């Protein structure tokens, strides 16, 4: 029940951050997408408007039925595939994609390392992972608060305390660019953000 409500209000509660610069971050990152592209945890489709013509195939993976309902609506009339699957079990052969995208998704997968291994599996060697994620704060006091962010975060399945950059680096990826920043207008525990690109190791 709560997740259905959250999906219904997601675009509204994130609109302030989008207007304050998050939409520009998405656009700059996704401008690098090319070829067959998969987005894991596509949510309501906030990234759809930012994919460039260089993307020849776009597959949007979203396991939550309430989010996926809104994703279907936003994707209507576009040449995209919407797939019901968790990030830890992607229903595609090895090396199916040139680009993978995760934006505010790795905080919510049940098993971060497993999801990154699956993303690496479906990417061709040399393919790219484009990521925009909120991460563990470098300030120890705030990091401790992220470890106990409150009941709301458990309800929506968000873990803002993950050291996602280290996890990407320890998966079959080489991080080529990364920028540290903050999600505008976000609660303090989910404000630290990374934006970057990693290459799938051969």
Which are the contacts of 5, defined by CB distance < 8 A and separation ≥ 6? none
179: which strand partners? 195
Which are the contacts of 96, defined by CB distance < 8 A and separation ≥ 6? 36, 38, 122, 124
Ordered domains of the chain (ranges, CATH): 2-200 (3.40.50.150)
pLDDT at 10: 87
Please give the structure tokens belonging to residue 189: 């525990």
Task: Give me the tens of pLDDT residue by residue for the chain, a chain 202 residues long.
Answer: 677 888 888 889 899 999 999 999 999 999 999 999 999 999 999 999 999 999 999 999 999 999 999 999 999 999 999 999 999 999 999 999 999 999 999 999 999 999 999 999 999 999 999 999 999 999 999 999 999 888 778 888 899 999 999 999 999 999 999 999 999 999 899 999 999 999 999 8
pLDDT at 1: 67
6 conformational bin, left if phi > 0, alpha if psi -120 to 50, beta if neither? alpha
Cα atoms in the Cβ-side hemisphere of radius 13 Å centred on 159: 10
pLDDT at 4: 84
pLDDT at 91: 98
| Residues 61, 79: Cα–Cα separation, whole Å | 14
């Amino acid at each position: 029940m709560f997740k259905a409500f959250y999906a219904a209000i997601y675009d509204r509660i994130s609109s302030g951050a989008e207007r304050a610069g998050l939409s520009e971050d998405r656009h700059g990152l996704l401008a690098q997408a090319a070829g067959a592209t998969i987005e894991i945890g596509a949510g309501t489709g906030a990234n759809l408007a930012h994919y460039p013509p260089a993307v020849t195939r776009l597959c949007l993976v979203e396991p939550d039925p309430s989010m996926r309902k809104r994703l279907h609506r936003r994707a209507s009339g576009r040449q995209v595939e919407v797939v019901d699957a968790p990030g830890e079990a992607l229903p595609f052969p090895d090396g199916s994609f040139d680009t993978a995208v995760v934006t505010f998704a790795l905080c919510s997968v049940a098993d971060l390392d497993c999801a990154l291994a699956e993303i690496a599996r479906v990417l061709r060697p040399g393919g790219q992972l484009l990521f925009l994620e909120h991460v563990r704060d470098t300030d120890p006091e705030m990091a401790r608060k992220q470890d106990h962010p409150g009941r709301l975060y458990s309800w929506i399945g968000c873990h803002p305390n993950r050291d996602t950059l280290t996890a990407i680096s320890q998966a079959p990826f080489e991080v080529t660019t990364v920028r540290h920043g903050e999600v505008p207008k976000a609660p303090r525990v989910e404000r630290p953000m990374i934006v970057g690109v990693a290459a799938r190791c051969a």
